[in-house]
Structure 1
Amino acid sequence: MKIISMIPARYSASRFPGKLMQDLGGKSVIRRTYEATVNTNLFDDVYVVTDSQVIFDEITSHGGKAIMSIKEHECGSDRIAEAIEFMDIDIVVNVQGDEPFTEVSALRKLIDVFKYDDKKEVDLASLMVKITDWDEITNPNTVKVIVDNNNFALYFSRSPIPYPRDETVQAVYHKHKGVYAFRKEALLDFYKLPMMTLEASEKIECIRYLEYGKKIKMVETDVQGVEIDTPEDLERAKKLWK
């Protein structure tokens, strides 16, 4: 089974433009993420896939592997799908370019989902982490996920799910971490299928898989990590790096 990692990387970001090229301990955020992913030794290959010449040059000038996107893409999955369409691979893991603190054990758990999926029932796997802070639960920037008894995703939302109508019920909330492992075929299906209403409404790309009947296995982790979405996040990451 050939397993690679792809790191989708846009230069422009609505909340923090150019964040991937910001300095983190003497190297750019995207270079830190790339090197951390390579150093996990979990992948046959690691690439940054980008629409930015600046990011492409940043990776390749330091000996890394990068691919320039040919088309414009609205989401990271589409960007990766274009890049891997003609590659001879089985599994591709999407590592977020703005999360430089790569957590090896969590990535290994994602890959293991496919290693032990003898019936090939799983189309993709992703991470979730338990959250208890109500501000985070109600924050629309935090994507929540609910699962069935076998940890297959039922739905993703920016709203609090489940809704706590009965406050005596001890509801459990999980945040979706945007790290995915895909079967190649499932990702190419995603690329070719049009966006439907639920995905368009929530602006959560993995909803497209559910709308078309794909199975998403969620893997619980206790590692929150640091996602760099704002200048404040970057300062927090710098302190953690030290």
Structure 2
Amino acid sequence: MTQISKYYHSNTRPVQILGIIPARYASTRFPAKALVDIGGKSMIQRVYEQAIQADRLSKVIVATDDQRILDHVASFGGEAVMTSVDHQSGTDRCHEAFMSIGSHFDYVINIQGDEPFISPEPINELASVLDLSTELATLVKIIDSEDLLFNPNVPKVVLNARQEVLYFSRQTIPYLRGQEPADWLKQHTYYKHIGIYAYRIDVLSKITSLPVSSLEKAEALEQLRWLENGFRIRAVVTTDDSHGVDTPDDLDKVTKKFLS
């Protein structure tokens, strides 16, 4: 048993989990999307109100780089902290936000700030595996269509027998030798990545100090930096799907799906 596991089992307090919603203003494809109106509420308000329903979270905050977002979150009764405009990832923003509040938490869960209709259930599913022996965790979902399977914009995940991540790739892996691609879904269970992460706080500090890795550069997937440096990522299989908003067209689609 590891030292941190011994600490947990000798102190039966519940694990304390901080939910952080990164929300920057200058999104490349959709500037100010955190403040866009969706049926009478801003995107960030909808994400926040969904996240606080996840009863396994001890606290939820927004981490932003813009005073307008900070003020808006305060206007609907939420809590937000200001972070640097220079962060390259939500993980980096989460780390600064965690350090700034100075509270005692065991884990941070990074909740995507552009999923206005996220369900509390997958957040709770991810939180359920956090027992202080878990370094990092993320969600995956079974792929059920060829469109997703062969779409390079949908990261695929390969797992080991212990439900830990072996690799993330935009390519379709594993390659099924001798099988027609049209039959691959019948022969093997493929997973896609759902981009919500849990970090043990000591691990969060370590991974944000690592340089960009060669695998991360190759696939443009930051989580490969963690694997390349020997960190273990536990995967939780969910049936919930993600409905992120990267563009105004995405916003139209999710609005029609959830509000029509």
Q: TM-score, normalised by structure 2?
A: 0.86
- Give the distance between the partners of 1:54 and 1:149, measured in 2 at CA: 46
Out of 65-74 and 14-23, give the one that drifted further.
14-23
Residue 151 of structure 1: aligned partner: 163
1:241 maps onto 2:255 in alignment: no
Contact 1:128–1:145 (CA under 8 A) maintained in structure 2? yes
For the 8 Å contact 2:54–2:121, the answer to whether it is kept is: no
Distance (whole Å) between structure 2 residues aligned to residue 126 and residue 228 of structure 1: 19
SS where residue 176 of structure 1 aligns?
A: strand
The alignment status of 1:100 with 2:116, answered yes or no, reads yes
Structure 2 alignment gaps of length 5 or more: 1-14
CA distance in 1, matches of 2:200, 2:16: 11
Counterpart CA distance in 1 for 2:238 and 2:174 is 20
- Return the alpha-carbon distance in structure 2 between the equivalents of residues 26 and 135 of structure 1: 33
Q: Which residue matches 2:137?
A: 125
Unaligned 5+ segments in structure 1 are none
Residues 50, 120 of structure 2: 8 Å contact kept? no
Which residue, 148, 154, 173 being the options, matches 1:136? 148
Q: Distance in 2 between matches of 1:203 and 1:69?
A: 23
1:209 to 213, 220, 226: 226
Structure 1 residues 11 and 164, CA, compared in 2 at 3 Å: closer, same or farther?
A: farther
**Residue 88 (structure 1) aligned to one of 104, 107, 112:** 104
8 Å contact from structure 1 (residues 24, 237) kept in 2: no
| Match status 1:187 vs 2:208 | no
Contact 2:25 2:65 in 1 (8 A): yes
Amino-acid identity (%) = 40
Bigger Cα Rg: 2
Q: What value does the CA root-mean-square deviation take over the aligned residues?
A: 1.7
Helix, strand or coil: the match of 1:32? helix
Runs of 4+ displaced beyond 4 Å: none
AA in 1 matched with 2:176: P
Matched, 1:36 2:54: no
> TM-score scaled by structure 1?
0.92
Task: Output the CA distance in 2 between the equivalents of 1:159 and 1:188.
Answer: 30
